[in-house]
Structure 1
Amino acid sequence: MNSEEIHLRDYLRVISKRRNLVITVFLLIFVMVALYTFARTPLYEGTTKVLIEKAQPNGISSETAYRFYDPEFYETQFQLIKSRAVSLRVVRNLDLLGSGALQSDADGKGPSWLSELIDTVLTVIGSTQDEDAAPADPHEQEIALADAISRDLSVRPFKNSRLVTISYRSPDPVFAARIANATAKAYIEETLNMKLDSTRLTLDWMTRKAADERKKLGQAEKVMQQYMVANDIVTLEDRLAVTPQKLSQISTQLVNAEAHRKEQETLYAQVRKAAGNTAVAVTIPAIASDPALQTLRAEILKAEQHIMELSGKFGPKHPVMKKAVGDLSILKKKRDQEITRIIASIKNEYELAVSNEENLRAQMQRTKAEAQNLNQKFIQYGALKREVETNRQLYDALMLKIKEQSITKETQPVNLWIVEKASTPDHPVAPNKPKNLLLGIIVGLMAGIGLAFFVEYLDNTVKYPEETEKALGLSVLGLVSLWKDKGRNLEKVLLEQPRSTYAENYRALRTAVLLSSAEGAPGKILITSPGAAAGKTTTAANLAIALAQAGKKVVLLDGDMRRPRLHKVFGKSNKHGLSNYLAGGSGETLLQKGPVENLALITSGPIPPNPAELLSSTRMARLLDGLEKDFDIILCDSPPLLTVADARIISRLFDGTMLVVRARQTTFEMAGKAVKSLADINAPILGMVINALELKKSDYYYQYYYQSYYGEEPEAQGQG
């Protein structure tokens, strides 16, 4: 399996690590959905079923134009059901503004829900008027109440059928059923009334329009007849039919002539440049393909071969040689003459093509002028003819529609039946508490998990070995837990707490260093970090102690001559150190005894004004060569890579560089820049150490490792 593949456990790790965020978001969304669900007033739905069909076409209408199923027709009916006109009929049919509608409900316990609705509508109407204005009139009240009813109506078709449900939701179940039934009845009445009004208005308008169109038709026919006689339209029609064909033929010939002219023009341009230059001329295909020229070229070749054969037998002044050379010269002159003839022939053909194109273009212009003259006459004729035809068609259509409407004016265009009346509902339909709560659970979990992954995506700091190795391409040599004990130092944890988890972290790092190659640990190791406060000094000190305790002779150098700390860690004097030696001093007092056997220290010495120049001197290389003879391993603590150039300067003097990064602080971008800076100078990189790794309960993989091996998680402890 590809090591780059993301596994399910990686997703589970992110969710577990961010579980507090997931739970918080989930509870927030779920509680909001629950409060909204239980705070809503229960709504009851009354539903009426109606059958809607288009009327069958009669004998006058076209059978092919009739469609039994018409989506636009049904959508129109749905909008009509929810229209204000139908809702106004409902208000008036039920007399919702009358005194009876405002009485208390059936059991007499209080005002009906309808009364509350009307009061709300009246309040809204009153708030839109000025304080000094007169109260809203009953018509405005009816419109406002109709709009309120229309908003709560819903019309839904049954799939694969012509049945439609008209539903109305209300806190009062009786009122919901009444409105649904009244809407279906009002819809049927409104449809019939629209049909009767439309038919009556249509007949009146078409009768008046037919009389006007009859007059227009007569006038148009008279004008067209006069124009035909005046312009001899019958004779011109034949000429107009022939002219486009002639124009098309000339256009085709002109296109071909233009293409031929361009082809000859290109060829003539080539041969004209080659005139006088035989070597270039014979390379042009149009010249080289000439049969006579090909024959001459073959004879010239034979003559040249003959001269070459004779040159081996006779001298240049021999009569045979002179004759052969003379024959060759004659052949070349003939070849040049033939080339000149071919060029002249190409020129003539080009000029002929130009002349032919110009003649065809002139003929095209004459034919176009003739066609335009004919078209101008027929444009007016066509306009007159179209006007006559349009007037005739309109008049005929009007007469047909008048007869048709007279016969079918009582025919209903829509067949409507109430299939099932609404009954009083027993249970509310909204809110759907189980559905809403389930939706709250799903949305809450998805939002929480999504936010957790988004936060994880934004976190680009170094944390775990697997993702670090994958991102940077370096092996992780060891992990060091976060030190939170402010009262004690981590630098000497191997001496003060040898059985702690932290001591084991550095022993594990020691093992990784010793096994880093087949030959064992590198002899010279540079310890650095991308930035400050990553824990490189702490790592250098503890690794030196761990290696010394393993029996290795170790010397620890403080190569950080800008902010040295090793002399403070081990309580040593810093009067004489590395800076003194590199500046030209003697090395007699350079080595100091470390806190354990086999460990020697070289402090940084006084802070110099030019640390980079001292570290790049030849004395630094000689010092390392001398120490390598007396010690098994040389460790050097150096400044951060991305801050100053000291570490990059001396990194090539060491067998390997160990990069210390701080978990949840050092970003992959910083670490990548540090690795690139070492790779650019071909400095050997030993690996990485992840320092200050805080093992939370969500880090189950590493938590399991530490708990199973050490018995408990490290105590809360800050890391220098």
Structure 2
Amino acid sequence: MKTIESSPNFKHYWLIVKRRWLSALTVFVSVFVLLSIVAIFKKPTYLAEGKLKFERTNTTSTLTGVGTEIGKLEPLVQDKSNPLYTEAEVIRSVPVVNKTLSTLKLKDEHGLPLKSKVFLKRLTVKESTGADVLDISFKDMNPGTAAKVVNTIMAIYLEHNISAHRAQAAAARKFLEKQVPNAELIVRKAEAELARFKEKYQVVSLQEEVNQAVGIIAELQKQISATQYNLANVDAQSQAIRKQLGMNAQYAVTMTSLSQSSGVQDLLKEIQQLESQLAAKGTVLQDDHPQIIDLKEKLKSLKELLQQRITMVAGTTQPQPNQNFQLGLLQQQLSGKLVELESTRLGLANQVNTLFRLQTAYKERLNNLPRLEQYQRQLERKVQAAQSTYSLLLQKLQESQIAENQNVGNASLISPAEVPEEPTTSLKMLYLIAGLLSSIAALASVYVLEARDKSIKTVDEAKELLDLTLLGIIPVAGKPKKALRGYEELELDSQKIVVRDTPRSPMSEAYRMLRANLKFMNADKELKVIVVTSSVPKEGKSTVATNLAVAMAQTERKVLLIDGDLHRPTQHKIWGLTNSQGLSNLIVGQAEIKKAIKNVMDNLDVLTSGVVPPSPASLLDSKRMAALMETFVANYDFVIVDAPSLNVAADAATLGQMADGVLFVVRPGVVDAVNAAFAKELLEKSGQNVLGQVVNGVISQNEPYSYYYFTEEDYPQPSIRTQESGSLVKY
């Protein structure tokens, strides 16, 4: 299956080579000779090579544990770059190159200082496959200079590598020396802020304080409950005694005080005695009796004195004047108990209030503890972060000071350049390169020529482009190599009437096959008038028309060949006739048909074009021309009209309207694809009955298939129309 698909491509390329071999050979020889001359006179160059090894991490830094990141080889873009490429560019950088040039004082061919651009063209820095090694090579006509350049540039790079890494360490140290004091100041500020917080909120350990506060609150709650229980008990006893005494505790205190006051009790006794005397006297004396009045005055004075003493004893609490101020022993005991209970109750109440205040204070403190704890943690984190940063900066400062004093380069010399003994390329290699470049130039020239050549080159291209029925393939006359030089159309050569002059030639057989194919075009209606045209001049349409007319005349049919090309007539030259009278003269009525038409061979008459008119299109599109065609059809079995090319004039379209069909002639190597497609489109738009195409001037060597070859011994067989599609079979 592969062979079938690749075969047409191979044949296509082989045909291109056959067409362009002369141009390709000329280009190949010219380029090869030129390059060979250059190679002969070119001085040999020598290549010196050295190697540098790179380490992913510096060994010294790894052992000391200091400065491991300074010489580390890592790409900035992961999976997209190799760090060795960066080092290669450093080696090719301007500072390294200029220092090498100034150190060695290199000169060019003219004795001038070697420029960096020229130096870089000779310098090659590449990566060794599968290893962290860079190969550094330099070309020069002097082998010693080449080796010296490689060794010098490697030494300069190694020095640059170490100094660059030291510079990094120094820059880091200077930066850290500026940052350490700032970090220390931040630590102090953070610690001072934490201390102020603890002092303000009296914080020692918030977590322990939370645990203690929870325990204290629980203990206070127990004490409150117990005190409230005792208070309730005392209050109940007090209530019972108050009910028995009928007085409250304060009044009971007052009454007890009055009962126990000797002054009050003595006055009460005197008052009672006076009242007894007043009662006894009142039974025998009148109210206005002096004794009665005297007793009342005394009683009044005693009562006033009693009131004063009561006020002194009772204070603000004033008992009723008629109340008994003499309590019994039991009442006095109860009053004392009531007073005692009242004091106990007040103490318990104060204790409960105090406990409640303590509990509230602890709860408030406990509620504030989470916020204080959060704030404390923030301050502690600041202190910790500041201390960590300060410690890290201090550590890095010490590391940078150590790293600055150690060699932290990551490159080392593993292979110095040696003086080369042999040049880079031998003379045989130069010839081989010249041959390769010459072949490329030859192929490029073939490609350019083919790209610029838009002409139709083979029968297959004509079939594919025009998509018309292939009615005939006319081989080129004579030897192919003349046609290869330019496909010249020798229209004036009388030997173009090959059907008459060489009836046994392959070309004659091709015309007879064309005649046979036209016969099979329509079985119901015979083609009588055929217009022969082409896209451009020099495609051989006049030759095709002439030989087709001869081939039809040989079948003992009466044929008329009309030269309808009133622009550049050719038929009179092919047949060797005068052109004083012809088609143009017949149209304008200046000649007779019998005199204008000339017999050239049996059954074949020729009507030349006549005098070339100023406006051929108007003559061919006239009623007189249509009448003449009707006359010709009535008097001849076949009428073949040689029409002008379609890019010259539209006369072929006009003549096609009077004919049974148009025969389109295509010549490979003469017509291009644009003109051929334009001509086909013009015929289709004008409504012509295009019978098919005739490929003229075919060179058998340019065709990819063997059935296009013609020989004297092996004639092709006529094609037969298929019943399914009506197309013609190849021959």
TM-score w.r.t. the length of structure 1 is: 0.57
1:595 corresponding residue in structure 2? 600
The equivalences for 1:522-671 within 5 A come to: 522-532=527-537, 534-560=539-565, 566=571, 570=575, 578=583, 589=594, 592-604=597-609, 612=617, 615-616=620-621, 623-661=628-666, 663-671=668-676
Q: Which deviates further from its counterpart, 206-215 or 389-398?
A: 389-398
CA shift, 1:19, in A, is 1.0
What secondary structure does 2:461 align onto? helix
1:468 maps onto 2:462 in alignment: yes
The equivalences for 1:128-147 within 5 A come to: none
**Preserved CA contact (<8 Å) 1:581 1:590:** no
What secondary structure does 2:594 align onto? coil
1:211 maps onto 2:181 in alignment: yes
RMSD value, Cα: 5.3
Distance in 1 separating the partners of 2:136 and 2:27:
40
- Tell me: CA distance 1:418–1:641, structure 2 relative to 1, closer, same or farther (3 Å): closer
Distance in 1 separating the partners of 2:82 and 2:641:
85
1:458 corresponding residue in structure 2? 452
CA shift, 1:468, in A, is 1.4
1:414 maps onto 2:427 in alignment: no
Distance in 1 separating the partners of 2:173 and 2:495:
109
2:604 aligned partner, one-letter code: L
Distance in 1 separating the partners of 2:627 and 2:195:
121
CA shift, 1:178, in A, is 4.7
Distance in 2 separating the partners of 1:168 and 1:609:
78
Q: Which deviates further from its counterpart, 645-654 or 697-706?
A: 697-706
**Preserved CA contact (<8 Å) 2:136 2:150:** yes
2:397 corresponding residue in structure 1? 402
- Tell me: CA distance 1:444–1:611, structure 2 relative to 1, closer, same or farther (3 Å): closer
Distance in 2 separating the partners of 1:558 and 1:152:
73
Distance in 2 separating the partners of 1:525 and 1:563:
19
1:672 corresponding residue in structure 2? 677
- Tell me: CA distance 1:146–1:400, structure 2 relative to 1, closer, same or farther (3 Å): farther
Provide, for residues 314-366 of structure 1, a one-character-per-residue CA deviation record: whole Å limited to 9, x for no partner: xxxxxxxxxxxxxxxxxxxxxxxxxxxxxxxxxxxxxxxxxxxxxxxxxxxxx
- Tell me: CA distance 1:48–1:567, structure 2 relative to 1, closer, same or farther (3 Å): closer
- Tell me: CA distance 1:697–1:402, structure 2 relative to 1, closer, same or farther (3 Å): same
Distance in 2 separating the partners of 1:563 and 1:197:
90
1:124 maps onto 2:115 in alignment: no
1:448 corresponding residue in structure 2? 442
What secondary structure does 1:664 align onto? coil
**Preserved CA contact (<8 Å) 2:549 2:561:** yes
CA shift, 1:705, in A, is 4.0
What secondary structure does 2:557 align onto? coil
CA shift, 1:10, in A, is 1.6
What secondary structure does 1:653 align onto? coil
Distance in 1 separating the partners of 2:514 and 2:122:
74
1:269 corresponding residue in structure 2? none
Distance in 2 separating the partners of 1:406 and 1:50:
28
Structure 2 unpaired stretches of 5+: 76-80, 197-378, 483-487, 715-731
1:374 corresponding residue in structure 2? none
What secondary structure does 2:691 align onto? strand
CA shift, 1:148, in A, is 8.5
Count of residue correspondences: 511
CA shift, 1:657, in A, is 1.6
- Tell me: CA distance 1:36–1:392, structure 2 relative to 1, closer, same or farther (3 Å): farther
CA shift, 1:614, in A, is 5.5
- Tell me: CA distance 1:653–1:389, structure 2 relative to 1, closer, same or farther (3 Å): farther
1:161 maps onto 2:131 in alignment: yes
1:14 aligned partner, one-letter code: I
- Tell me: CA distance 1:20–1:704, structure 2 relative to 1, closer, same or farther (3 Å): farther
Q: Which deviates further from its counterpart, 449-458 or 70-79?
A: 70-79
**Preserved CA contact (<8 Å) 1:492 1:542:** no
User: Which residue, 7, 10, 16 being the options, matches 1:8?
Assistant: 10
Larger radius of gyration: 2
What is the percentage of aligned positions where both structures have the same residue? 24
Distance in 2 separating the partners of 1:642 and 1:164:
67
Distance in 1 separating the partners of 2:120 and 2:455:
58
Structure 1 unpaired stretches of 5+: 98-116, 126-143, 227-383, 711-720
1:498 maps onto 2:468 in alignment: no
**Preserved CA contact (<8 Å) 2:475 2:700:** no
- Tell me: CA distance 1:26–1:403, structure 2 relative to 1, closer, same or farther (3 Å): same
**Preserved CA contact (<8 Å) 2:71 2:408:** no
Q: Which deviates further from its counterpart, 434-443 or 544-553?
A: 434-443
**Preserved CA contact (<8 Å) 1:465 1:476:** no
TM-score w.r.t. the length of structure 2 is: 0.56
What secondary structure does 1:526 align onto? strand
Distance in 2 separating the partners of 1:84 and 1:486:
67
Distance in 2 separating the partners of 1:576 and 1:650:
20
- Tell me: CA distance 1:73–1:500, structure 2 relative to 1, closer, same or farther (3 Å): same
1:42 corresponding residue in structure 2? 44
Distance in 1 separating the partners of 2:157 and 2:591:
112
